[in-house]
């Protein structure tokens, strides 16, 4: 039998995936609070009212890890990502206690990438040096824009000077720094976007995440949509990035991600390549693969209060747990892995889904015929046309 080849249950002819080896395992920790909610944001976070009880939250995170241990017994953690929300609301001492707790329960690899998201307020920037001392080795800063008018429209609580100070200070203490920027902001011109990117690059980050602003349902922007740049302006921004950023030392490796050589985000890359992740904290998601062929998805209770209270009431912190079906795992894999500009190794489909590539031979052929995908024995890679129309390409792999 070929590695990763699924077996057929002869009794009822059901395709049963099997795994010869398990994918890498990452740890995600969600900190679900923000000072105030930005009007475009659909990440799960609550406005912080009153004092943040760090120790109480660390205690429930510990409970989550302990409950999850039987699912990941013996597996090593390749990366840790503390996201939110606004993790930099935590003190450096709190992050230190959190990471010590994690290391006491899970075998985190000595060279693991340990990322943390931070907002660029003065209060946060003063803590960067101490964050580095806790073992965080990659800082990701939610700049979004350096333009004061755009920061105001986005409801950000920081100004241009704070954003600059945060980006520059981060590089004094961290070898790996990501800056998040948005494009397609209300009324944004190509020149304004170019200035944002050039200002970001002048702060010497090792990674840029460049996301297009989209109006998400159930956000204030959805209720009162701002006027966004038209397709031509968005295209010109995209084209300019493709031409200018390589000359500034950045390689485009994923739809929204650009990195200096050797500085790709390991945590996100594992996620996009259908690796496993244990998610702890309110609203955090997990994906865990088992040697018997199952892939499990699990979501923690979303509301931070209910999530924490559940501990006292002895309730399970999980809102939803289900097994990923054979059809869904084909689509999930392709939806994520196709985000890579240089595609993915062909064998990875079998390794990560437990299914033969033949399962998707029809959509692969269709995508090739449409000029959206290049398929070889070694690599499956979106064409430039496929990258441009990525949603159309991904939809081809939707289950019937």
Interface with ligand SF4, residue 34, by CB under 6 A: yes
State which of residues 17, 26, 27, 45 lies at the interface with ligand SF4 (CB under 6 A).
45
DSSP character for 294? -
Question: Residues touching ligand SF4: how many (CB under 6 A)?
Answer: 11
What gap in Å lies between CA 211 and CA 202, rounded to an integer? 19
Of 36-44, 280-288, 364-372, 386-394, the segment contacting ligand SF4 by CB under 6 A is: 36-44
State which of residues 18, 22, 41, 245 lies at the interface with ligand SF4 (CB under 6 A).
41
The two structure tokens encoding residue 161: 């000077």
The residue among 38 and 65 lying less far from ligand SF4, judged by its C-beta, is: 38
CA dihedral (127, 133, 139, 145) in degrees, to 10, reads: 20
Of 15-23, 34-42, 73-81, 238-246, the segment contacting ligand SF4 by CB under 6 A is: 34-42
User: From the CB of 209, what's the least distance to ligand SF4, in Å?
Assistant: 13
The residue among 123 and 322 lying less far from ligand SF4, judged by its C-beta, is: 123
The residue among 11 and 47 lying less far from ligand SF4, judged by its C-beta, is: 47
Integer-rounded Cα Rg, in Å, for the chain is 22
Scanning 73-154, the segments in alpha helix (DSSP H) are 92-105, 122-125, 128-133, 148-153
Q: Of residues 141-200, which lie at the interface with ligand SF4 (CB under 6 A)? A: 142
What gap in Å lies between CA 60 and CA 64, rounded to an integer? 6
State which of residues 86, 199, 206, 336 lies at the interface with ligand SF4 (CB under 6 A).
86
State which of residues 4, 23, 85, 87 lies at the interface with ligand SF4 (CB under 6 A).
85
What string of DSSP letters covers 189-213? -HHHHHHHHHHHHHT--SEEEEEE-
What gap in Å lies between CA 141 and CA 126, rounded to an integer? 14
The two structure tokens encoding residue 2: 């070929």
Of 58-66, 80-88, 324-332, 361-369, the segment contacting ligand SF4 by CB under 6 A is: 80-88
Nearest by Cα to 376 from 346, 353, 355, 350: 346
HSE at residue 304, side-chain half, CA atoms within 13 A, is 19
Interface with ligand SF4, residue 43, by CB under 6 A: yes
State which of residues 119, 125, 199, 353 lies at the interface with ligand SF4 (CB under 6 A).
119
Give residues in contact with ligand SF4 (CB under 6 A). Answer: 34, 37-38, 41, 43, 45, 84-86, 119, 142
């Amino acid at each position: 039998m070929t590695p990763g080849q699924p077996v057929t249950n002869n009794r009822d002819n059901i395709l049963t995936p099997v795994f010869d080896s398990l994918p890498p395992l990452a740890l995600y920790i969600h900190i679900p609070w923000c000072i105030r909610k930005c009007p475009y944001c659909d990440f799960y976070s609550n406005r912080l009212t009153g004092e943040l009880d760090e120790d109480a939250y660390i205690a429930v995170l510990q409970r989550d890890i302990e409950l999850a241990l039987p699912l990941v017994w013996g597996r090593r953690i390749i990366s840790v990502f503390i996201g939110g929300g606004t993790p930099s609301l935590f003190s450096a001492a709190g992050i230190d206690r959190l990471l010590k707790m994690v290391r006491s329960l899970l075998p985190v690899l000595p060279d693991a990438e340990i990322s943390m998201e931070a907002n660029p307020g003065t209060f946060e920037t003063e803590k960067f040096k101490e964050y580095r001392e806790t073992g965080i080795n990659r800082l990701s800063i939610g700049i979004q824009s350096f333009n004061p008018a755009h920061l105001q429209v986005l409801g950000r609580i920081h100004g241009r000077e704070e954003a600059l100070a945060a980006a520059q200070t981060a590089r004094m203490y961290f070898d790996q720094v990501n800056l998040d920027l948005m494009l397609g902001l209300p009324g944004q011109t190509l020149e304004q976007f170019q200035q944002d990117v050039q200002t970001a690059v002048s702060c010497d980050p090792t990674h840029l995440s460049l996301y297009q602003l989209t109006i998400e349902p159930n956000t204030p922007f959805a209720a009162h949509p701002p006027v966004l740049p038209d397709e031509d302006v968005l295209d010109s921004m995209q084209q300019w990035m493709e031409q200018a950023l390589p000359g500034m030392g950045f390689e485009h490796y994923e739809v929204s991600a650009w990195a200096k050589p050797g500085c790709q985000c390991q945590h996100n890359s594992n996620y996009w390549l259908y690796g496993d992740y244990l998610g702890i904290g309110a609203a955090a998601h997990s994906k865990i693969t088992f040697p018997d062929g199952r892939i499990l998805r699990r979501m923690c209770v979303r509301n931070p209060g209910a999530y924490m209270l559940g501990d006292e009431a002895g309730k399970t912190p999980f809102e939803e747990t289900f097994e990923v079906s054979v059809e869904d795992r084909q689509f999930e894999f392709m939806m994520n892995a196709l985000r890579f500009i240089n595609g993915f190794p062909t064998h990875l489909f079998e390794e990560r889904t437990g299914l033969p590539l033949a399962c998707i031979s029809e959509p692969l052929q269709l995508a090739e015929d449409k000029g959206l995908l290049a398929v070889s024995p070694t690599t499956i890679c979106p064409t430039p046309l496929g990258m441009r129309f990525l949603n159309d390409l991904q939809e081809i792999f939707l289950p019937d």
